[in-house]
Structure 1
Amino acid sequence: MNKHIGLALVIGLATSGLAAADHEGDRYRDDRQQFFAEGRVVQVEPVYETYYYREHSNRGNSDHRYEICRTRDVEVSRSHRSGNPAATLIGGAVGATVGSHSGRTPESQVFGAIAGGIIGGAIGHELGGRGETTVRYRTERECEVEYRHRRSDLVGYEVRYRYNGREFMTFMDRHPGRYVELAVEVTPR
């Protein structure tokens, strides 16, 4: 029986030593440390949320009347005037005449007249104009009157503060005063 007690004692001591060593490793795994400090407030800006709503009753000075108008251009008429067809014909005739005198053989004179007529007609068409489209517009204006109220609610503060030589920014639901209380956490790299 003493052998069993001795064996149990040896196994127990060995296991507790391993557990203690493992526990010792846990102590350094989470090496974060936290402390509290104050940051100096540099700037505080109130933040408002604005609501617009309509009210149909007239209660004197609290109603604000707004006239909302929109303008738009509406097409009234459209007309198209084509270019001068005589310019195309005259350009083609001049080109054909010039082209017919460019060759020495009768075949080259015919080809020159055809090419000259096509080129002259294209130049005449360009000079005579392609035509133009004229569009007339009328400006229409639509207006409607609205009675609107405005309500602004303070929802918090944008706070800029300085800590340890650096500036930070946060949003707070109350005015912080001159200092902001900070929870600083330090963790080694």
Structure 2
Amino acid sequence: MGKKILMFGFSVGMAVACVNLAWSQDRGYGDDRAIDNSRLAWADVLRVDPVYGNIVSSRPREECYDSNVDHRYDTRGNNTAGTVIGAIVGGALGNQVGKGDGRKAATVAGAVIGGAIGNNQARRDDRYYSETQTNCRTVSESYSERRIVGYDVQYRYRGDVYMSHLDYDPGERMRVRISVTPAE
């Protein structure tokens, strides 16, 4: 029971404080009143006209294009194989010629000549092919759009009509600052 009474008392106290704060702000008794002899009040909004402007912005866009690319089949392994096969065949043929040291020299010469011929033949077999490759890049695209950049607001305070330019639409009523200064 004691906790309920304490919570009720706290709630009533907070409500009184909020009402008092709202009453003092409505009367303009805030901290700024003592500094610049002003207070806050409410004015009725008569008309709100949006003000438009052209805003230039940019956004990224991907741009792609196709291009033909020529490739050579990888025949490095075939060149080696052609050289080795040519050297074996050339060495075997060179071994058939001559006797003694001449046969050895003919075998070596046949292997060298056969290897060179096999390598050249393998290189002639190089083939090329063409493929289409898509390349893309990001470009910045500028565009202009019409946007609301502010509001011309006509409002009435105590029978007088005023006009102001605001960054926002104030709705049906708006807060105004009333200031009093001595006339010279």
Q: If the length of structure 2 is used for normalisation, what is the TM-score?
A: 0.31
Q: If the length of structure 1 is used for normalisation, what is the TM-score?
A: 0.30
